[in-house]
Structure 1
Amino acid sequence: FMANGSAKGAAMVTAVAQRLASQRKEIDDTLATFTLSTTQLQEVKAKMRVELERGLKKDTHPTASVKMLPTYVYRTPDGTERGKYLALDLGGTNFRVLVVKIRTGMRNSVRMYNKIYAIPLEIMQGTGEELFDHIVQCISDFLDYMGMKNTRLPLGFTFSFPCNQTGIDKGDLVSWTKGFKATDCEGYDVVDMLREAIKRRNEFDLDIVAIVNDTVGTMMTCAYEDPKCQIGLIAGTGSNVCYMEEMKNIELVEGDEGQMCVNTEWGGFGANDNIEDIRTRYDREVDGGSLNPGKQRFEKMTSGMYLGEIVRQILIDLTKRGLLFRGRITERLKTKGIFETKFLSQIESDRLALLQVRSILQSLGLDSTCDDSIIVKEVCGAVSRRAAQLCGAGMAAVVDKIRENRGLDHLEITVGVDGTLYKLHPHFSTILKDTVRELAPNCKVDFILSEDGSGKGAALITAVARQHMQEQIDKYLYAMRFSDETLRDIMARFRREMENGLGGDTNPTATVKMLPTFVRSIPDGSEKGDFIALDLGGSNFRILRVKVSHEKKQTVQMESQIYETPEDIIHGSGSRLFDHVAECLGDFMEKQKIKDKKLPVGFTFSFPCAHSKLDEAVLLTWTKRFKASGVEGMDVVKLLNKAIKKRGVSDYDADIMAVVNDTVGTMMTCGFDDQRCEVGIIIGTGTNACYMEELRHIDMVEGDEGRMCINTEWGAFGDDGTLEDIRTEFDREIDRGSLNPGKQLFEKMVSGMYMGELVRLILVKMAKEGLLFEGRITPELLTKGKFETKHVSAIEKSKEGLTKAKEILTRLGVEPSEDDCIAVQHVCAIVSFRSANLIAATLGAILTRLKDNKNSPRLRTTVGIDGSLYKMHPQYSRRLHKTVRRLVPESDVRFLLSESGSGKGAAMVTAWASRLADQTRQIAETLAEFRLTKEQLLEVKKRMRTEIQNGLSKNTQSTATVKMLPTYVRSTPDGTGKRFTARPTQCIFLKIGKDGQ
C-alpha cells in the first residue's frame, strides 16, 4: 500500500513538473518573440538605413516610412548666443512654458524660469481651436506670473509631432501621435494656428521665430554643453531621432553647402511592412487598439506610451492560458492603459524585491504569487529590452551614415538624450549603448543626458536661427559694416577735405566747400526784438514770427505756419519759386496783422551758397530734389527781394538782414540755450554740418582775429572718389537714379532722403536671390520710393518693430514670414547704423579740429542737432553718440536737440545782425558830430587865413587868436655846411588862442 502511495506521489510530482515545464516553455516561447538576435538587429539597422536614404531623396520621399523632415536648423550652438527668449514645449499631457535667458559668450550660462500646465484629455481630443486657445491661455497666465505681458519676446515652439517644415517658422502637422487627436489640425501650419489664437485672445504679442520638435530641442540643449553633440534622441512617451545631415544629401531643400538638422520621425519606420518579421501579435493588438492603426509602428514597439500596454496584452494572454494569476483576469487588467510604463521601470529595478513587485501587482487588483511576480518581471524585461535594442539598431544606422557622409574610418560623436524611458528605466540606457557599440564598431558614441529638457533647446534654436539669419545678411552686406579703424580712416580723409576747403589755393577743387557764413558769434543772451524767419529746405516751407523779450528773463515766443511747395514749383523756374515764397510771406504777415511793419527777416535757405556777407548768398547747386531753373549762380536774397517788390509797395516790405542754411540755424537755435554750442548738424532729408572756425584759418575771408561759422556742405564729401572703396553697388544704383548723378555722394549714403530707397534696393536683390519672401517680388516692391525712410524708423522700434515690418511689407504686396520680418529689420539696422557711423566719423573730424584749434587736452563742447532721421529713428541718436565717444575719447560732447527748428536760429542770426546794425548806428550817431563836410572845412580854412593876417598885423596882433610870434630864426639849413647869410625872412611861431572860432 505504501509502495503504491509513493509511486502515485512520484507520478503526481512528475505531472506537476511536466506541467510547470510546459508552462515555462509556453512563457519562454511567448517571450522569445521579443528576443532579437544580432542578425535580426543587423537587418533592422540595414532596413533603417535604406529608409533614411529613401526619406532624403525627392523621388522616394513620398513613400518612405522614415520621413527625414528638414528642420531649417543649420547649425548647433557655438556658445556666442545671447538674449531672452520664450519657449513652449508641447508633446504630451503636460505643456511647459519657459523664459530662457542666455548670457553671451559663456557656456553653462543659461537661466530658466518655467511653469507646467496640464492638457486635459477632452482638450487633447477636442478641436484644434480649443487646443490652441488653451495653450494661449497658459501662455497668458505665465506672462502675467512673470510680469512680461508687455514684452514682445522671440519665441521658440517645441512641438513634438511630425511636421512638414518649409521654413524654420512654418510647420504643417503631418499627423497626431501620443494620444493627441485634436480636429482640424492635420495638414495645417501649427504656427499659424498659434498666431491666430494669440490674436483671438488679444492680450499680448509674440515673435514666433522657430518651431522644432523635442528631438531637435534636445540635440540643441546638449550641443550647448558639448559641441560634439550632433544627434538628438527621445526615448520617452514617444521615440524619435534627429541628426545633422549634409545639405547635399537633402534633396527636398535647395543648396549643397553646409549641414541641416533632419528630423527622422523614425517612429513611422515599418509602415511599409518591412519589420513585420519582428512584430508580435501583441504589437498588432496594441496597434489595432490605438488612435492611429497602421501608423507609427516602430514607435509603438519602442516608446514609453505603448510598452506598458504591450505588457498588459501579454499578461492577459498568459492569464487566459492559465499561466498567470491562477487564470483569473480582473476587470482592472482588462482596462486599457492601466499598466503604465513606469511600472516596467519599477518592476525591473534590481533594488526591488519580489515582494514589492507583488505589491505593485496587487495595486492593480492582481492576486499574484512569487512565481507570478517572477514571470511579470521577465515579461517587462523582454519588452523593454527589445525596445532598447531596436532604438540601438536605429541609432547604429544613423551614426554609420554620418561616418560615411564625412568619409571617416572612425567617428567620434555625442548623442543628446531625453525622455523618461531613458532616464528612469534601470537597464534601457545600458542595453541601448551596448547595441550601438555592437552594431557600429567604427563609431565611438557618447550619450549625454539633457537635464533641462527640449524647452531650453527651443530657445537655443531661436537664438541660433536669429544669429544664422543675421550672419547671412551680414555676409551679404559686409561692405556696410565698418570697424573703428575704418571709421578713423574716414575721419582722416574728411579732415584733409576740410583743410582743402579752407585753403585759398585748394578751395576751388575741394569737394567739401567750407563756405564762410559771416556769422561771427553765437547768441550771447542780449538779443531782443520782433523778427520774421523763413525756412526753405524741403517740400514744406515754414514761416515764423519770433519775439525775443527781456522782461524778467529772456523769453522767446514763436508762431509759425507751414506752406506746401508743390513739385511743379520745385522743378519749375526760379521766378515761380521765389514768387511762391513771397506770396506765402505776404499771407503770413496778413494773418499776423503786420503788413504795415517792416520787420527784420532771417532766411534759412538750406542749400549750398557762397556768401560775401551775411545778407548775400549765391546758390552753388541745388540738392534735395530741388531743380528750379535760373537760380544756381544767383544771389537768392536779390531774387526774393525782386519777388517781394513785384507785389508792389502797397502790399508789404521786408528787410532781409541775414541768409543762413538750416545747419547754421540749428547751431544758433541751440546756442541760444547753451552758449557752449559751436557745432550744428542736420540729419534729416539731407545732411550737413557747420562749426565755429578760427578766422586765421579761413583764407577766403580777410582778418585773423575772432571766429566765423563755416558751413561745411559735407554732403558732397566723396564726389572726387575719396569714398569709392566704401560705396556699395546699392549706393551706385541710388546715385544713377538721382536728379544729380555724381554729386552729393556722402549725402546719398547717409541721409533720410535716400535711406528707405537703399533698403528697398537691398530687399529686391535679396528676394531675387531667394534670401527673402521665398523669392517673390511684387510690383510695389519694385517701385522707386515705395519704401520710405519713416518705414525704416518704424521697423527698428524695439517692441513693435516686427509687427510694423509685417504691416509695411504686407502693404507692399509681400506676405512675409516671421523670418522675413526679422531679416528686413536687420537690413534696416545695418543701413541706418552705417549712416550713424559715417556721420560719427565726419563729426569726429570736426571735433578733433576744434580741439586742435583750442590747443586743449580735452574738448568740452555742445553739438546742436536737428533733422527727422535723428529725431524719429528709435536707435539712431544712441548709435551716433556711442560711436562719437569711441572715435573722439578726449572729448565731453553734449548733444542738444533743436526743439524749435532752424527757423528760430535764423531769427537769432537776424537778431544778432540787427543788434550789430543797431550798435553800428549808435556809434555812427555818436561820431557824427566829429564828421566835417567840405563846406565846413573850407570855412575853417577861411577863418584860419583871417586869423593869420590878424596875428601878423601890429594893430590887431593883441586881439588875434593866432598870435604869429617871431622866433628870430631867419633861414632854414641849405645843406652846404657854410655860414649862412641872413635873408630878409623870419620864422614865425603860431600860437592859436581860444576865441570860439
Structure 2
Amino acid sequence: QIDKYLYAMRLSDETLIDIMARFRREMKNGLSRDFNPTAAVKMLPTFVRSIPDGSEKGDFIALDLGGSYFRILRVKVSHEKKQTVQMETEIYNTPEDIMHGSGTRLFDHVAECLGDFMEKQQIKDKKLPVGFTFSFPCRQSKLDEGILITWTKRFKASGVEGADVVTLLNKAIKKRGDYDADIMAVVNDTVGTMMTCGFDDQRCEVGLIIGTGTNACYMEEMRHIDLVEGDEGRMCINTEWGAFGDDGSLEDIRTEFDREIDRGSLNPGKQLFEKMVSGLYMGELVRLILVKMAKEGLLFEGRITPELLTKGKFETKHVSAIEKSKEGLNKAKEILTRLGVEPSHEDCIAVQHVCTIVSFRSANLVASTLGAILNQLRDNKGVGRLRTTVGVDGSLYKMHPQYARRLHKTTRRLVPDSEVRFLLSESGSGKGAAMTLAEFKLTHEQLLQVKKRMRAEMEAGLKKKTHETAKVKMLPTFVRSTPDGTENGDFLALDLGGTNFRVLLVKIRSGKRRTVEMHNKIYAIPTEVMQGTGEEV
C-alpha cells in the first residue's frame, strides 16, 4: 500500500540514467561562458589546481563554517621520517539569531571564536596562515577571495550576499585588535574534503558532501573551463549541484511533498535538488508524508496530534534511528509515541518503510549526479575504464546506517565501467583547507624548476618563431637606456593600471645638485567605469 502511495518516490534505473544525462548537460552549460549566466548549476572555478602530493608541511589554522556547527582546527603537518598530521579541534555553537542576524554580527562571532581558540592554543602572538572552509556558493577570481552568491541551508545573515567573506572576516579581526591572522585561502567544504582525502589517496579527484546540505567538486580539465584563462592542466570545480532543478529540469520527479518543503523553506525556489536529498530536509519530508497518510486514515487509525503537525518535530536523526536493522522498529515506536500518535506494530513497520523510501531516493539521486561527474572524468581521460577515489563527508552519509552502502551500490550499477573507491574524510573539510595552504610551500628543488621553466619561456617570447605561442610575451617597450643624470625639465606622468589612478608632476633639475621634486594626486576609478566603455575610462 505504501509503495503504491509513494510510487513517485521510487525511481527506476531508467529514470536515474535520464537524470544522469540531464545533470551532464547542466555541467556543460555551467562550464560554458555563453550559458553560465543562466545555468542553474554554477560550476564555480575554485583556483585549486592540484591535490596534495605528500610534500606539504607547516603549522596552519582552519575555520569550518556552514555545516551543523562551526569548527576551528590547528593542523600541523611535519616531515620527520614520513609525513604526519597533528590536529587539534574546537567546536563552537552558532545560535540561530546569529545565523539570521546581520553579517557584521556573524563575522564578529567567528572572529571572537578564533580569538578564544588562539588564546587556548597560546598562539595569539603568532601570525599563522588561515584556511577558511566556507560551505556556501561563492564566486572566486583567486584563492583568497570568496564573493557569496547566495546563502543556503540554515543561514540568512544580511549584508553578506555579493560581498567578499575574506574582507568581512578581516574587518572583524582588525576591529578586535588582539590578534593577527592571515587568511590565505577560501575553500568550499567539498574541496576541503577532496584535499583531505587526497592527502591519504593520490587518486582522489572528487569531493562529495551529503550532510545538512549536499554538493560535490571534481578536478576538471582547464580546456573545458571557459570562465578561466588558460588551457593547461586541471582546476577543481565546485559544482554547487544543490541548485540542480532550480530552472525546472526536475519538475517531473518532484512530488507534492517536495513542493511543500520548498514552500516552507528559507529560500523558496532555490536549491531544489538539495531539498530532495540532504539531511536538513529529510526528516521533514517524512513528517509531511506521515501527516497526509494519517489524514487519509492509512496510519495511526487517523489520529493526528499537534506534535505530528509541528514543523521540525520529526528529524533526520530519527530517520537514521528507525532504519537500523535490529532496533529500528523499537526506535520507531519510541519516536512515534513521543509524537503522541500511539502507534500499532503495523504503524511502526509502515513508518520504517516510508523512511526507507525517502532515504533510498536521496542515495539514488546522489548516485545519478555523481555518475555524471564520473563519466565526465572518464571521457576527459579518454580511458575505457576509470579508476578513481571519491572523498566523502557529511552527517547523513556518516550517521545513517544504510545510506553509504546504498549509494555505493547504485553508483556502481549506473557507471559499471568505473572502479570507484569511496573514502570517508576522517577530519572533515578543515584539514583540507590547511592542505590547500600547504600547497603554497615550495621546496628548493621546486623553485629551481620554476626558474628553469621561466628561462625557457623568456627565450620563447623573445624569438620571432615562437613569440606567437609563447605565454610570457617579452614585449618591446622602445625604451633604449636608463637615466644617466643629464635629464632636466618638468613632466606630467599618468599612472593607470593598479588600484588607483595617479597623476604626478615631476620636476627634474640637473647640475651640481641633482634634484627631483614630485607632486602627486590620487584619483579613485569606480568599478562601473573600469568595466564600462573605453570612452568612459
Say whether the fold is shared (TM-score over 0.5): yes
One-letter code of the match for 1:891?
Answer: S
**Offset of residue 647 of structure 1:** 1.2
2:26 aligns with: 497
1:733 aligns with: 260
Alignment partner of 2:213 out of 682, 686, 690:
686
One-letter code of the match for 2:222?
Answer: L
Alignment partner of 1:797 out of 319, 324, 338:
324
One-letter code of the match for 2:147?
Answer: V
Q: State whether structure 2 residue 183 is matched by structure 1 residue 628.
A: no
Question: CA-to-partner distance for each residue in 1:170-205, whole Å, 9 max, x for gaps?
Answer: xxxxxxxxxxxxxxxxxxxxxxxxxxxxxxxxxxxx
Alignment partner of 1:907 out of 413, 434, 439:
434
1:938 aligns with: 482
Alignment partner of 1:838 out of 356, 365, 370:
365
Alignment partner of 1:809 out of 333, 336, 340:
336
2:93 aligns with: 564
Alignment partner of 1:541 out of 70, 73, 82:
70
Cα distance change on mapping 1:917 and 1:504 into 2, 3 Å: farther
Q: State whether structure 2 residue 125 is matched by structure 1 residue 596.
A: yes
1:182 aligns with: none
Alignment partner of 1:517 out of 40, 46, 57:
46
Q: Secondary structure of the equivalent of 2:482?
A: helix
Alignment partner of 2:114 out of 585, 601, 617:
585
Q: How many residues align?
A: 466
One-letter code of the match for 2:413?
Answer: R
1:271 aligns with: none
Q: Secondary structure of the equivalent of 2:284?
A: helix
Higher relative contact order (CA 8 A, sep 6+): 2
One-letter code of the match for 1:783?
Answer: T
Q: Secondary structure of the equivalent of 2:141?
A: strand
Distance 1:893 1:511 in 2: 27
Distance 1:921 1:816 in 2: 72
1:871 aligns with: 398
Distance 1:633 1:916 in 2: 37
1:885 aligns with: 412
One-letter code of the match for 1:870?
Answer: Y
Question: CA-to-partner distance for each residue in 1:98-127, whole Å, 9 max, x for gaps?
Answer: xxxxxxxxxxxxxxxxxxxxxxxxxxxxxx
Alignment partner of 1:647 out of 176, 192, 198:
176
One-letter code of the match for 2:359?
Answer: S
Whether the 8 Å CA contact 2:68–2:212 is kept in 1: the answer is: no
Q: State whether structure 2 residue 352 is matched by structure 1 residue 825.
A: yes
One-letter code of the match for 2:22?
Answer: R
Distance 2:116 2:448 in 1: 32
Greater share of helix = 1
Moved more, 638-647 or 695-704: 638-647
Q: Secondary structure of the equivalent of 1:782?
A: coil
Distance 1:768 1:916 in 2: 68
Distance 2:444 2:365 in 1: 40
Alignment partner of 1:663 out of 169, 185, 190:
190
2:494 aligns with: none
Question: CA-to-partner distance for each residue in 1:295-330, whole Å, 9 max, x for gaps?
Answer: xxxxxxxxxxxxxxxxxxxxxxxxxxxxxxxxxxxx
Question: CA-to-partner distance for each residue in 1:884-919, whole Å, 9 max, x for gaps?
Answer: 111000010000000110001111111113449996
Cα distance change on mapping 1:725 and 1:652 into 2, 3 Å: same
Distance 2:481 2:438 in 1: 39
One-letter code of the match for 1:626?
Answer: F
Distance 2:68 2:307 in 1: 24
Distance 2:406 2:287 in 1: 22
Distance 1:922 1:885 in 2: 41
Q: Looking at CA atoms only, which structure, 1 or 2, has the larger radius of gyration? A: 1
One-letter code of the match for 1:504?
Answer: R
**Offset of residue 921 of structure 1:** 11
One-letter code of the match for 2:117?
Answer: F
Alignment partner of 1:695 out of 222, 244, 249:
222
Q: State the percentage of identical aligned residues.
A: 85
Distance 1:760 1:917 in 2: 60
Distance 2:312 2:183 in 1: 37
Question: CA-to-partner distance for each residue in 1:415-443, whole Å, 9 max, x for gaps?
Answer: xxxxxxxxxxxxxxxxxxxxxxxxxxxxx
Cα distance change on mapping 1:685 and 1:530 into 2, 3 Å: same
Cα distance change on mapping 1:527 and 1:775 into 2, 3 Å: same
1:148 aligns with: none
Whether the 8 Å CA contact 1:658–1:913 is kept in 2: the answer is: no
Distance 1:665 1:917 in 2: 27
Question: CA-to-partner distance for each residue in 1:22-74, whole Å, 9 max, x for gaps?
Answer: xxxxxxxxxxxxxxxxxxxxxxxxxxxxxxxxxxxxxxxxxxxxxxxxxxxxx
Structure 1, gaps ≥5 residues long: 1-471, 931-935, 943-997
Alignment of 1:768-779 (within 5 A): 768-779=295-306
**Offset of residue 941 of structure 1:** 10
1:753 aligns with: 280
**Offset of residue 547 of structure 1:** 0.2
**Offset of residue 937 of structure 1:** 5.9
Question: CA-to-partner distance for each residue in 1:517-561, whole Å, 9 max, x for gaps?
Answer: 000000000000000000001352100000000001100000010
One-letter code of the match for 2:115?
Answer: G
Distance 1:595 1:689 in 2: 35
Distance 1:918 1:768 in 2: 71
One-letter code of the match for 2:482?
Answer: L
Alignment partner of 1:896 out of 423, 431, 434:
423
2:199 aligns with: 672
Q: TM-score, normalised by structure 2?
A: 0.84
Whether the 8 Å CA contact 1:600–1:914 is kept in 2: the answer is: no
Q: Secondary structure of the equivalent of 2:16?
A: helix
Q: Secondary structure of the equivalent of 2:130?
A: strand
Distance 2:349 2:44 in 1: 43
2:102 aligns with: 573
Alignment of 1:973-992 (within 5 A): none
1:52 aligns with: none
Distance 1:554 1:509 in 2: 45
Whether the 8 Å CA contact 1:539–1:566 is kept in 2: the answer is: no
Q: Secondary structure of the equivalent of 1:645?
A: helix
Alignment of 1:196-211 (within 5 A): none
Whether the 8 Å CA contact 1:599–1:655 is kept in 2: the answer is: yes
Q: Secondary structure of the equivalent of 2:84?
A: strand
Q: Secondary structure of the equivalent of 1:560?
A: strand
Whether the 8 Å CA contact 1:539–1:564 is kept in 2: the answer is: no
1:764 aligns with: 291
Distance 1:927 1:715 in 2: 41
Whether the 8 Å CA contact 2:243–2:274 is kept in 1: the answer is: yes
**Offset of residue 778 of structure 1:** 0.8
Q: Secondary structure of the equivalent of 2:342?
A: coil
Distance 1:528 1:916 in 2: 10
Whether the 8 Å CA contact 1:657–1:914 is kept in 2: the answer is: no
Cα distance change on mapping 1:687 and 1:921 into 2, 3 Å: farther
